[in-house]
Amino acid sequence: MAFPDTILIIGCGNMGGAMLAGWLAGGLEAGRFTVVDPLLPEAPEGVRLLRELPVGEVFDLMMLGVKPQMLNDVAPQLTALAGEETVVLSILAGAELASLAARFPSARGIVRVMPNLAAALGESPMGVVAQGLSEEEASAITAFLTPLGTPEWVSEDLFHAVTALAGSGPAFIYRIIDALATGGVALGLDPEQALRLARSMVQGAADLAMASPHDPGELARRVASPGGTTQAGLDVLDDNGAVLALMQATLGAAEKRSREMAAAAR
C-alpha cells in the first residue's frame, strides 16, 4: 500500500472533516484513518474514532487539524506520536515549518498544507511546503493529497499569499455570490430565484474558465459587446480599477493576518 498507510488525524472539525471526506470519496480505505476528537459525534463508517490519544502506536502520518491557537497546548502531548517514523502534516494557518519542527524535533518530516473546504469534493487547490522529506516521500505526499484537488508546491515565503488566495478565497467568492443574489433581488427577482441564478451562473462561469484556453480577461471581453448590457456592468467594476483595488485590499488583509498569526506562533 502506498505511503502513508496509517494516518492519525488530531482534531476533525470543518476542514479536517472535509479532507477526510475527500480522501474516502477518492477511494482511500477508511481503515487507514484514526481520528482523535473528543467532540466529534461520529466518524465515517470504518474510520476509528478515539476520544483520547492512542498509546504505544506508530503512524506513518499525523495530521494536525486543531485550531491554530491550540498548538502550544497540544504539541507537548503529541511528541511521543511524532517520532522518526512519522511525518507531521499541518493545516494550521500561520504555523511555519520552523515552529512545527521545534515542537516535533524527532519527526520523519514536516509538511504544511493549506486547503479549503472544496477538498470534500476533490476540488481544492492546496499550497504545500515541506522539510525533511526525500524526493520519493514528497512525491508520495503529492499523491496522497491529489484526491482532495490540486496540490501546488510553493516556497514557504509565499505561503501567506497562498493562504489568502486559495485558503480564504472561497469565503470571498461566497460573499460575491451573496452580493449578486442580493443585487438581483434589488432589481425585483424573488430571493430564492435570485440565489439559484447566482449560484448556477458562478458555477458555469467557473467551469468555463477551467475548460477554456482563454484567460479570464479574454472571456470577459468575449461576453461583452460594445455598448451592451455586460459592458455597462463592466464599466462599473473597472471604474478607476475598482474591482482590482477591492480584491487586492481583500487578499492583502488576509495575507497580513496570516503573517501576524505566524509571528505569534513562533
* Among 53, 13, 56, CA closest to 34: 53
Half-sphere CA count of 75, side-chain side, radius 13 A: 20
pLDDT at 1 over 60: no
The answer to whether the CB of 159 falls within 8 A of the CB of 127 is yes
pLDDT, average across residues 226-239:
96
pLDDT confidence of residue 171: 96
Single-letter residue type at 138: A
pLDDT tens by residue, 247-265: 999 999 999 999 998 888 7
Q: Where in the chain is the domain with CATH 3.40.50.720?
A: 7-159
pLDDT, average across residues 101-122:
96
pLDDT tens by residue, 128-178: 999 999 999 999 999 999 999 999 999 999 999 999 999 999 999 999 999
pLDDT at 226 over 80: yes
- Please count the other Cβ atoms lying within 10 Å of the Cβ belonging to residue 51: 9
Q: Where in the chain is the domain with CATH 1.10.3730.10?
A: 169-262
pLDDT tens by residue, 196-207: 999 999 999 999
pLDDT confidence of residue 68: 84
Q: Which residues contact 181 (CB under 8 A, 6 or more apart)?
A: 191, 194, 195, 197, 198, 199
Q: Identify the CATH homologous superfamily for domain 169-262.
A: ProC C-terminal domain-like (1.10.3730.10)
DSSP 123: -
Sheet of 124-131: strand order equals 48-50, 33-36, 7-10, 61-64, 87-90, 109-114, 124-131, 149-153
C-alpha 257 chain-centroid distance: 16
Q: Which long-range contacts (CB under 8 A, 24 or more apart) does 76-83 make?
A: 77/53, 78/10, 78/53, 78/104, 79/103, 79/104, 79/106, 81/8, 81/53, 81/54, 81/57, 82/106, 82/107, 83/58, 83/107, 83/108
For the entire predicted model, the pTM comes to 0.88
The answer to whether the CB of 18 falls within 8 A of the CB of 119 is yes
Q: Identify the CATH homologous superfamily for domain 7-159.
A: NAD(P)-binding Rossmann-like Domain (3.40.50.720)
Q: Which long-range contacts (CB under 8 A, 24 or more apart) does 255-259 make?
A: 255/160, 255/161, 255/163, 255/164, 258/93, 258/94, 258/159, 258/160, 258/163, 258/164, 259/94, 259/160
